[in-house]
Amino acid sequence: MNAFMALFVRELFAFFVTPLAWVLLVVFLIVQGLHFSLLVQHFASSGEVSSDQSPVQAFFGNTAILYLVLFLLVPPLTMRLFAEERRSGTLEALLTAPITSLAVVLAKYTAALCTYIALWLPTVLYLVVLRQTGAVDWHAAATSYLGVVLVGAAYLAVGLLMSALTSSQFIALVLTALVMLVLFIVGIGEFVAAPGTVVHAVCRHVSMWSQMASFSSGLIDTRHLVFDVSVVATCLFVTVRIVESWRLEGRA
């Protein structure tokens, strides 16, 4: 546990002592701030809604900006986790330390996930702003943030795995973005495939759009939970096996 915490703190510290996390935070808040402002202005001027619930739902589930934000955040957050260790040669010292491969992987993943969540925390202020002008469905807001965390957790696990496959941060970033893009394109298939078919069911199960639309409406679909948890578990398992192989080979 001490070794895990030491590595976790080290990884968390590595994120915030470099400009990367702060640049991502600034860009993220600018994009999300403009997004939220435009949505509120739209609903205020159209007069189509009588509560603040619809802006919250639109912010999390009914626009493409959310998916752009995930593409913006996840690949840069995960690209350095193992790739930088391998490039700089510090991975050998890490592998000879008294810490299990599972603890190494979990420490790096948890640090990335905590950073991701920290970047989202300032957006809670948007709900406070909405609350000043009307009622907010806190249940829908809570499930929306749960969806954001689950989707982000799945993609961060993918990014961690991609970082373990290469010693180049750039290649890790590109691979992560490609996998996310493939999953996004497969998800779009739910709007193309005929309803009731196996293809439609699979696409809807994978669809990030469908998942966030459900969460932002206050609904928790266990199929989406199973999908996200399965992606996380699979990617972490494969990453642990990769780290174990490095130890057996005695090289990175």
Say if residue 3's pLDDT is above 90.
no
d(CA 55, CA 39): 6
Q: Dump pLDDT digits (tens) for 140-164.
A: 788 888 988 999 999 999 999 999 9
Least confident of 54-68, 93-107, 202-216: 54-68
Q: What is the pLDDT of residue 130?
A: 75
CA dihedral 60, 62, 65, 71 (to 10 degrees): 70
Phi-psi region of 47 (alpha: psi -120 to 50; beta: other; left: phi over 0): left
Which of the listed ranges 5-14, 76-85, 147-156 does the model predict with the highest average pLDDT? Answer: 147-156
Q: What is the pLDDT of residue 51?
A: 47
Enter the pTM of the model: 0.87
Q: Dump pLDDT digits (tens) for 126-145.
A: 888 777 766 677 787 888 88
d(CA 156, CA 113): 7
d(CA 58, CA 186): 22
Q: What is the pLDDT of residue 20?
A: 79
Least confident of 92-96, 104-108, 232-236, 248-252: 248-252
Q: What is the pLDDT of residue 173?
A: 92
Q: What is the pLDDT of residue 47?
A: 57
Q: Are 252 and 92 in contact (CB under 8 A)?
A: yes
Domain around 152: 2-249
Q: What is the pLDDT of residue 161?
A: 94
Q: What is the pLDDT of residue 1?
A: 64
Q: What angle do helix axes 53-61 and 65-78 make, rounded to 10 degrees? A: 50
Amino acid identity of residue 175, one-letter, is L
Residues in the chain: 252
> How many domains does the chain contain in total?
1
Q: What is the pLDDT of residue 52?
A: 44
3-state DSSP percent of the chain in helix, strand and coil, to 5: 80, 0, 20
